[in-house]
Structure 1
Amino acid sequence: MDQAWKLERHFWEELSEGRAGGFYARHMTADGYVVLPNGVMNRDELIVRWEQHEPLTYELSEPRLLLVDGGSVLIQYHASADGSWLSNYRAWITSLYTWEGADWALVFRQHTPEGPFAF
């Protein structure tokens, strides 16, 4: 489980260095996808789109890890990001990793932006 969280943090490190597309190319399942505030993108779309964006600064906090079964880990945490094309972004992130071969692979990630919600 800890290795999946380490891999998730590695994604953000690569994002801050302008290499997020490479992360998806190496660590996402072929049928994986991400739910963003403006739609859904599959692995191939993510690789192309990240190549077009400048790096972001970020901060991660409040991680929660849940072993779903022996081969899947659900990770939830808070992310703050900022950059020239994405200013002051705050969201709750949920990622699902599966054990594939000899390592964890990202299957799914969802962004839930912060905002008012009466509950």
Structure 2
Amino acid sequence: MDQAWKLEQHFWEELNEGRAAGFYARHMTSDGYVVLPSGVVERDDLIVRWEQHEPLTYELSEPRLLLVDGNVLVHYRVTADGSWLPDYKAYITSMYTWEGGEWALVFRQHTPEAEFAF
């Protein structure tokens, strides 16, 4: 399970270095996708879109891991900042599956922080 969290951290390191597209190319299943506040983006589109974005600075906190039927659910908080995404704060949930002898990203969802009376 810890390997899935390390992969998630690795994604943000690569994003910070302008290589997020490569992460998705190497570590996401062919049918994987990400749910963003603006909609659903499939793997191939993620690779193309990340080629067009500048790096972000970031900080990750509050990680939680959960094993679900042989898959790993990774949840954490991110604060990120960059010219195209200023002062972004969200909760991220990712699912990894065991494929080809390693963990592979299947799904990621961003839930932006907001006031919510619950």
TM range (shorter): over 0.9
2:115 match: secondary structure: coil
Query: What is the TM-score of this pair, normalised by structure 2?
Result: 0.99
Query: What is the TM-score of this pair, normalised by structure 1?
Result: 0.98
**Cα distance in structure 1, aligned partners of 2:29 and 2:22:** 13
**Cα distance in structure 2, aligned partners of 1:79 and 1:99:** 25
User: What is the Cα deviation at residue 101 of structure 1?
Assistant: 1.2
**Cα distance in structure 2, aligned partners of 1:31 and 1:66:** 22
Residues 67-82 of structure 1 aligned to structure 2 (within 5 Å): 67-69=67-69, 71-82=70-81
**Corresponding residue of 2:65:** 65
Letter in 2 for 1:8: E
**Corresponding residue of 2:100:** 101
- Structure 1 gaps, min length 5: none
**Cα distance in structure 1, aligned partners of 2:58 and 2:115:** 22
**Corresponding residue of 1:92:** 91
**Cα distance in structure 2, aligned partners of 1:92 and 1:105:** 20
2:114 match: secondary structure: coil
**Cα distance in structure 1, aligned partners of 2:50 and 2:58:** 16
2:86 match: secondary structure: coil
**Structure 1 residues 21-50: Cα deviation after superposition (integer angstroms, max 9, x where no partner):** 000000000000000000000000000000
**Corresponding residue of 2:54:** 54
**Corresponding residue of 2:12:** 12
Dislocated runs of 4+, deviation >4 Å: none
**Cα distance in structure 2, aligned partners of 1:3 and 1:30:** 20
Q: Give the RMSD, CA atoms, in angstroms.
A: 0.5
**Corresponding residue of 1:21:** 21
